[in-house]
Amino acid sequence: MTDRLEQLVEIAQALVAPGKGILAIDESGGTIKKRFDSVKIESTEANRLDYRSMMLATPGLGEHISGAILFDETIRQKMADGTSLVQVMEQGGILPGIKVDRGAKALAGFDGEKVTEGLDGLRERLAEYAELGAKFAKWRAVITIGDDIPSRACIDANAHALARYAALCQEAGIVPIVEPEVLMDGDHDLDTSFDVTEATLKALFSQLYEQNVMLEGTILKASMVISGSDAGDRAGAEEVAEATVDCLLNAVPAATAGVVFLSGGQEDVEATAHLDAMNKMGDMPWPLSFSYGRALQAECLATWASDPKGNREKAQHILLHRARMNGLAALGEWSEEEEKE
């Protein structure tokens, strides 16, 4: 193996080291505004820096968090004393990652479906991010379940873009996280979620193979197989865990370095319980861990927002607790009792 490939494997394995997962704080300008609006904080550059640096500087966070995914603005930000956020992460033992897609846009000719953009100029952007310290990257595709959708065209267009992105990342020495998110929105049942997730993952791994992407240096960020958020009779944790693991076993090659989940609108503890239930099922071909955004941040954000100066340590404590709980879930060692401690 060349040095570059060896380095990719090493980074990928570090991201899914036992008991560790990823903190997703890569909300785009629009999404972070929505999150800040919900807690009545103005989305200014200074507030975004204050909030995100507070999280990254949490003492001990690196024991449970292997890496954090940043947005373009964040990877360039510095604190008042001149320390960059990337340096804060390095001091805390947290690998810097970067969201490089340019968002999911309407897919022409297919009502209600999306394709993720951002391939043009990506080689040059990745080279710059590598200079800025990025060790891994993320690209999120969105698959929507609804009447007669997703279409084959939508799944294939997104799988193709994900594979092209992944190949460019590996060329730049950056580990790609490939994220084909099947949205939870809707009233679909568990079986529908299973079928759509399986078809999406099979298309993705076929494209990764076609584009010569090395799976040992690739992380899959998957959505769980879960009932739609408006479904009447939603499946419980055991069912979600079994269906998700079955689906992954059907579609994800064993060579893949690891699988991390997004939370996608699940409640904090629900996301932890689901991950824990999967890891309690026994040995898997790949580590199963987390890359949560909302399910790690929700309570931390609300606490910080109610008094950004006075509640800084309290908010850090809450983030550390959720990170620790999810770290335990990644080992299948979480319990309700741990949660209460």
CA–centroid distance for 267 within its chain: 16
Nearest to 281 by CA among 257, 249, 324: 249
Exactly one of 96, 217, 228, 264 binds ligand 13P (CB under 6 A); that residue is 264
**Element housing 277 (H / E):** helix 268-279
| 150 part of the interface to ligand 13P, by CB under 6 A | no
Using the rule CB under 6 A, is 293 a contact of ligand 13P? yes
Q: How far is the CB of 178 from ligand 13P (least distance, A)?
A: 11
Beta strand extents in the chain (DSSP E only): 21-24, 65-70, 95-99, 104-106, 114-116, 136-143, 175-182, 219-222, 258-261, 288-292
For ligand 13P, which stretch binds (CB under 6 A), given 59-67, 112-120, 288-296, 331-339?
288-296
Instruction: Spell out the residues 6+ positions from residue 301 whose beta carbon is closer than 8 angstroms to its own.
Output: 35, 39, 51, 315
Tokens 């704080």 locate to 25
114 binds ligand 13P (CB under 6 A): no
**Choice from 295, 320, 323, 328 touching ligand 13P (CB under 6 A):** 295
CB of 140 to ligand 13P, least distance (A): 4
Whether the Cβ atoms of residue 286 and residue 257 lie closer than 8 Å to each other: yes
Closest C-alpha among 109, 125, 124, 118 to residue 141: 118
Active site residues: 179, 221
Question: How many Cβ atoms are within 10 Å of 283's Cβ, its own excluded?
Answer: 5
Q: Which is nearer to ligand 13P, 78 or 186 (CB)?
A: 186
When asked if residue 24 is in the footprint of ligand 13P (CB under 6 A), the reply is yes
Instruction: Give yes or no for residue 177 binding ligand 13P (CB under 6 A).
Output: no
Q: At how many degrees (to 10) do helices 152-171 and 190-210 cross?
A: 50
Q: Does 286 bind ligand 13P (CB under 6 A)?
A: no
Q: Which of 158, 218, 263, 326 binds ligand 13P (CB under 6 A)?
A: 263
Q: State how far the Cα of 166 lies from the Cα of 218, in Å rounded to an integer.
A: 8
> Binding to ligand 13P by residue 140, rule CB under 6 A?
yes
Out of 294, 311, 327, 329, point to the residue binding ligand 13P (CB under 6 A).
Answer: 294
**58/291 with CB nearer ligand 13P:** 291
The yes or no reply on residue 262 touching ligand 13P (CB under 6 A) is yes
**Least distance from C-beta 292 to ligand 13P, angstroms?**
4
CB environment 81-115: b (16+ within 10 A), e (fewer):
eeebbbebbeebebbbbbbbbbebeebeebeebbb
Structure tokens at 90: 């390095």
Could you check whether the bond before residue 59 is cis, i.e. omega within 30 degrees of 0?
no
Segment contacting ligand 13P (CB under 6 A): 242-250, 292-300, 316-324, 332-340?
Answer: 292-300
Candidates 9-17, 118-126, 235-243, 258-266: pick the segment binding ligand 13P (CB under 6 A).
258-266
Between 48 and 294, CB nearer to ligand 13P: 294
Residue numbers at the binding site for ligand 13P (CB under 6 A) = 24, 140, 179, 262-264, 292-295
